[in-house]
Structures are given as C-alpha cells and as structure tokens.
Amino acid sequence: MTRRRPNRPAGLDGLLQGASALADVPTVTLPTAQLRPAAFQPRQHFDPDTLTELADSIRKQGVLQPLLVRPSGAEFEIIAGERRWRAAQQAGLTHVPVYVRDLTDEQATRAALLENLHREDLNQYEEAAATLRLVALTLGVDEDTARARMYAAARGTNTEDREALEDLFAAASLGSWQSFTTNKLRILKYPDAIVQAMRGGLHYSIAAVIASAPEANQAELLALALGGAGYREVKARRAELEARPTPLRVDPARVTQVGKRIGSVKWLGTLDDRAQKDLQAWLNRMPDSVRRAMNLPD
C-alpha cells in the first residue's frame, strides 16, 4: 500500500498553519492567575537558577516579549511563554502582556514546539523529544512511527519522507535532519537515570558515552560525570572498565556442551518437529544483551 505523501511545509507560517502570524494581533494584558500551562508543553524542567535570573530581569524591565495564549473556558492556556509566566509571578507581577489566538490543538502544539526549539536553555532531551513530535505532526503519524521512518530515510530505504524532512528542518532552522537522526534521536531511548541527568544539564555527548557502555558500568560512569568529569575523562574511564576481565557467572562446561550440540547439523537433524520448534522458540527468547555480545541479527 502506497503511503500518502505529506504536504510540504511552506516556511514557518506553513508549519504553524497561521499560528506564527502575530504581526496584526494586538497585545492585551491579562492577570497571571487567569493563565495556565498547556498540557502539551515541551519543556518539563525549569532550572531554578535561570528562572530566578529571568525573574530579576523582569522585575527591572518587565516582560519584554508577550506570551502566546488561547482561550480555554474562563481561563487562557499558555502556548508559548510558560517560563516567562513563572518568572513574572516570581517577580511579583500580577499581570502580563499576551497575544490571544484561537488555535486548534495541532496549531497550538506546533507553535509551542517551535517556540521552545528556538530557546537556548531547552535541555537536549526535551529538544530531541520536541523535534520528534514536530516530525510526527508533519508526517501525520505517531512518534514511534515517525522515529522508524526517520531511521529508514537515513538508511536510504525510505525515500518518500526525505523531502518533507528537509523542508521541515530548513523551514524551522533545526539544522540537518540526518545529523539529528544519527546523533540525537537515540537520546529518547536512554535509561531513565541518564535522561534525568540530561534534564539537569548533562551534555548529550557525555550521555552517549555512558548510554552505550555495558549496563553494569553505567552507574559508575554517570556518577563520575555528575561529579564534574568531562567527555575525555568519562570515555577514558569507560575504556578502563571494559578492559577489565568480566568475572564468569555462567557454567563454562555447560555452555560448551550446549554450543557443541546446537552447532551440530547432524544432531539438529535428529530432533522431531516439536523439539525443533521448541529450540527455535528458545533462541527467539535470547536476551538482547546476549544477542549483541554474539553479534547476532535481530
């Protein structure tokens, strides 16, 4: 079945489907108590120190850039500017300037994603997550499907999405989609402890060294990084750990016996249909760590 080709985005206005066209929208002032964060806000972590710095700036100069909100019953939902809203309240402001727009859920999500992706203080996990959501919206699929299609496009096995990805990343000034797919998309599958460290500011290059290390070594490497070690130091320590012989936790004699049996085509031919099916099912349940260590295909 041929997949429907996604529409090509036409610049930022096309990406937002009109949500970014604020030039003709008047600024109004609303009470901070009448605003609430959107459920689809890409930013999940607000650094207390930088929030305090912004609050100090707002206390002196006010909110220089209006928030983008949409009506939601008796309140207004913040599409872009939750950090400014939080800092304004911390600074003691009771009202803030806003742009009010009637936006659909999809338009609002696009606007929130793009606004946050162009903020320097967005951590790298949230940046990767927001970018993938934006790709999923553009392709009209869920995030797991979008991830799979990006990997396929990078491998060259999916040529249908390449133009849409190039248009999206160029229009949104997100850099190279190939580089994002190769280097940052994997971040979203990192262990929770590494993700939390990235939310706290751990650089993705160091996180990548830790995430690709054997699971048994990750806690030590993460503690080293959180203690202030840089990329080279963490990478060197990983090499030291991997150079150490791993204590045997299996019965070598039993493993050797199993290997000889399974490696014998003659022995395999003596198995009946039921035994062969059970053996295949057993092989299919092989843990991923063992499969990777044996360099076996998925």
C-alpha–C-alpha distance, residues 47 and 83, integer Å: 10
Q: Report whether 184 contacts 129 (CB < 8 A).
A: no
Residue closest to 203 by CA, chosen among 237, 226, 179: 226
Strand order in the sheet with 75-80: 27-31, 95-100, 67-72, 75-80, 35-37
Of the residues 53, 75, 82, 120, only one is catalytic, namely 82
Residue 55's CB: how many other CB atoms inside 10 A?
19
Buried b (16+ CB within 10 A) or exposed e, 60-96: eeebeebbbbbeeeeebbbbbbbbbbbbbbbbebeeb
Q: Report whether 95 contacts 32 (CB < 8 A).
A: yes
Is 166 designated active site? Answer: no
CA–centroid distance for 70 within its chain: 26
Please identify every residue annotated as catalytic: 82
